[in-house]
């Protein structure tokens, strides 16, 4: 299964988004939250993200969903730190909606390209029809 890592400046936000995504996915889907700093502060920590990527990887790659600003820089730093060859992509999409879409596709066995495509569809998701 493709892994999913949710990166946010806030540990609570990342955990909450993970919770919502898990509701749409089978329980064994590797969805991890990498939010906030070790001391509980607001921010992003590339090492936390790196650990989450390694834990989420089942050999089929990992998709990262990120919130604002430096989350992307920290995510890219984390990718540089990986020793193992893990196929990691960053989805340029709203973090919550993207995580939910990605979770559904990952859970049903989609490959990394498909999970990324699902996450990207969240960009054009319409809420009021």
Ligand X SMILES: Nc1ncnc2c1ncn2[C@@H]1O[C@H](COP(=O)(O)OP(=O)(O)O)[C@@H](O)[C@H]1O
Q: Which residues contact 88 (CB under 8 A, 6 or more apart)?
A: 53, 61, 62, 63, 64, 79, 82
**Structure tokens, 100:** 């939910």
**Structure tokens, 119:** 């996450």
Min dist CB 78 to ligand X, Å, is: 16
Question: Which residue in the list 3, 8, 9, 93 is annotated as catalytic?
Answer: 9
Of positions 12, 73, 92, 109, contacts other proteins by CB under 8 A = 73
| Residue number, 10 or 70, with CB nearest to ligand X | 70
Residue 98 · residue 119 · CB < 8 Å: yes
Residue count, binding to other proteins (CB under 8 A) = 17
109 counts as binding ligand X under rule CB under 6 A: no
Residue 103 · residue 25 · CB < 8 Å: yes
Min dist CB 69 to ligand X, Å, is: 5
Residues marked active site are found at 9
């Amino acid at each position: 299964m493709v892994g999913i890592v949710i990166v946010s400046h806030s540990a609570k936000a990342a955990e909450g988004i993970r919770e919502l995504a898990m509701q749409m996915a089978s329980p064994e889907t590797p969805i991890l939250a990498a939010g906030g700093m070790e001391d509980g502060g607001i921010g992003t920590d590339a090492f936390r993200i790196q650990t989450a990527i390694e834990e989420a990887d089942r050999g089929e790659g990992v998709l990262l969903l990120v919130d604002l600003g430096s989350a992307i820089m920290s995510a890219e730093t984390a990718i540089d730190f990986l020793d193992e060859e893990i196929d990691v992509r960053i989805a340029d999409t709203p973090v919550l909606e993207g995580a939910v879409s990605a979770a559904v596709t990952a859970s049903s066995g989609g490959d990394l390209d498909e999970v990324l495509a699902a996450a990207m569809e969240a960009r054009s998701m319409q809420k009021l029809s």
